Amino acid sequence: MDKKEDNKKSANEQLQEKLFLAKKSCWNKFVDKDRDAVFRFGEGYKRFMDSSKTERRCVENIIAILKKHEFKDMAYASKLKAGDKVFKNIKGKCVIAAIVGKNSEQLQLVGSHVDSPRLDLKPLPIFEESGLALLKTHYYGGVKKYHWVNTPLALHGVVFTKEGKKMTISIGEEGSDPKFIIPDLLPHLAKTQMERKADKVVEGEELNILVGNIPINDDKIKEQVKLSVLKHLHDKFGITEEDFACAELELVPAGHPVDIGFDRALIGTYGQDDKVCVYSSLMALVEVNAPAHTAVGFFVDKEEIGSTGDTGAASFVLKNFCCDFLKLTGKDISTSSLLEKSNAISADVTAGVDPNFKDVNDPLNASVLGRGVSVEKYGGGGGKYSTNDASAEYMQFMRGILDKNKIPWQTGELGKIDLGGGGTIGMYLSRYGMNCVDAGPCVLGMHSTCEVASKVDIYCGYLLYKAFFKE
Ligand code: MN
Ligand code: MN
């Protein structure tokens, strides 16, 4: 058979090529300089993640990057014109950043969340038992509680002294810092524990962290280790036991982001849900200049507990921002009309197919690591509860952007229909009547202490958000 013959495809092969959706890795679409760009983006992302583990620290880093790119605090603006860059800091836990468009009657908004599952300290956490001082925690968001034992943890947050001084605490990130830990039961004595169901292998009230072992040398004191720990905290931060009630202190894994695999294609770190989309949409936003429509980065808190609260997407923070924004631009349109005419991406991660647990996915519709950004028409659970099911029209609009900019993408679904599910901020954005769809990289081990994502999917997400802002 000659070479020419060999290359010739049969009519049916050609038909298949035309009609079937080809599903394959997009890594080889990024070669040479483009491959370098993918890896370089991963390096910046890891640096960001290393110091953005809590919502407060993440917001601080977002604002620092925005300021570096000439975004100004909207609180000090008296007027806004096309091309101006502003941000609003909402209680240090939520940021809305915007570049005023030439046509400010519509937003192109990308929303992501700054919070991740973690362990919070209880209002009165400290106690002593069996020669040890411990702190009681209350888990935040959907965790498998057994992930959190035997893992060195760092403590971050704020606490007020009785006199009203706000103290910021951050212990456990530096190599020389002490860490904290919840020891699991040794296997030798775990016969009864191992008979518990997985969600009870470690129960909520057993998530108590070790914080001290040296007692105060005084037999008149009943809880000598507790007193010794409180003395240390008082010497260092000026706080007492009651002050824990006026605090937000969070425990997160103490490790650093790492490359995974011989080829370094993957990144493993805590908090990729959803700081991967925070970083990639932020990088996209700061690279946009003079967009036609107002480009908005919405970095919001509390998604992991249902978007509730004063810094969550179910609050009116976005609406309030738009009221202020319209006043400053002098545009004679209502807030509701601005929001209703807008386009949004709910930038969030989805579940990738895990080769060890393939059964939980519909293989036809699930996302695979390395195949580009996942555009998910709907999430939710059961009969499409708790989701915004994007319209065909908007899916077509999104496909147009992806195709025009040659951005590799795939569809996604959060597991088999009746197995479970999960919501995003998409349903809260769509309440305004704006178009909305979920899009972000798929991950493995979501909500674990070390989530895994592919560098190329992260990069494709960034490319999509940037193209979307420029639309
Ligand atoms: Mn998420
Ligand atoms: Mn989540």
CA–CA distance, 60 with 279 (Å, rounded to integer): 13
Residues 137 and 224 in one domain: yes
Q: How far is the CA of 182 from the centre of ligand 1 (A)?
A: 26
Does residue 462 belong to any structural domain of this protein? yes
Question: Of 106, 101, 100, nearest to 77 (Cα)?
Answer: 100
Please state the φ and ψ torsions of residue 107, each to the nearest 5 degrees. -105, 145
CATH number of the domain residue 24 falls in: 3.40.630.10
Does residue 391 belong to any structural domain of this protein? yes
Does residue 249 belong to any structural domain of this protein? yes
Q: How far is the CA of 273 from the centre of ligand 1 (A)?
A: 5
Give me the domain span that covers residue 278: 20-116+270-470
Two tokens at 230?
């409180």
Q: How far is the CA of 56 from the centre of ligand 1 (A)?
A: 17
Q: How far is the CA of 461 from the centre of ligand 1 (A)?
A: 14
Q: How far is the CA of 281 from the centre of ligand 2 (A)?
A: 17
Residues 319 and 463 in one domain: yes
The structure's pTM equals 0.96
Residues 278 and 224 in one domain: no
The total domain count for the chain is: 2
Please state the φ and ψ torsions of residue 244, each to the nearest 5 degrees. -60, -25
Contact present, 345 and 468 (Cβ < 8 Å): yes
Residues 231 and 301 in one domain: no
Residues 391 and 466 in one domain: yes
Please state the φ and ψ torsions of residue 9, each to the nearest 5 degrees. -90, 145
Residue 350: nearest ligand to its CA?
A: 1
Residues 399 and 288 in one domain: yes
Residues 333 and 426 in one domain: yes
CA–CA distance, 77 with 87 (Å, rounded to integer): 10
Does residue 381 belong to any structural domain of this protein? yes
Question: Of 221, 388, 205, nearest to 314 (Cα)?
Answer: 388
Q: How far is the CA of 104 from the centre of ligand 1 (A)?
A: 29
Residues 304 and 322 in one domain: yes
Q: How far is the CA of 115 from the centre of ligand 2 (A)?
A: 8
At what angle are helices 33-50 and 455-470 packed, to 10 degrees?
Answer: 90
CATH number of the domain residue 228 falls in: 2.30.250.10
Q: How far is the CA of 88 from the centre of ligand 1 (A)?
A: 22
CA atoms within 13 A on the CB side of 254: 20
Which of 225, 253, 281 is at the close of a domain? 253
Q: How far is the CA of 280 from the centre of ligand 1 (A)?
A: 14
Residues 136 and 40 in one domain: no
Q: How far is the CA of 263 from the centre of ligand 2 (A)?
A: 27
Does residue 180 belong to any structural domain of this protein? yes
Does residue 260 belong to any structural domain of this protein? no
Contact present, 345 and 110 (Cβ < 8 Å): yes
Residues 324 and 445 in one domain: yes
Does residue 259 belong to any structural domain of this protein? no
Residues 106 and 58 in one domain: yes
pLDDT tens, residue order, the chain (471 aa): 455 555 789 999 999 999 999 999 999 999 999 999 999 999 999 999 999 999 999 999 999 999 999 999 999 999 999 999 999 999 999 999 999 999 778 999 999 999 999 999 999 999 999 999 999 999 999 999 999 999 999 999 999 999 999 999 999 999 999 999 999 999 999 999 999 999 999 999 999 999 999 999 999 999 999 999 999 999 999 999 999 999 999 999 999 999 999 999 999 999 999 999 999 999 999 999 999 999 999 999 999 999 999 999 999 999 999 999 999 999 999 999 999 999 999 999 999 999 999 999 999 999 999 999 999 999 988 899 989 999 999 999 999 999 999 999 999 999 999 998 889 999 999 999 999 999 999 999 999 999 999 999 999 999 999 999 999
Does residue 14 belong to any structural domain of this protein? no
**Residue bearing tokens 């699991």:** 184
Residue 274: nearest ligand to its CA?
A: 1
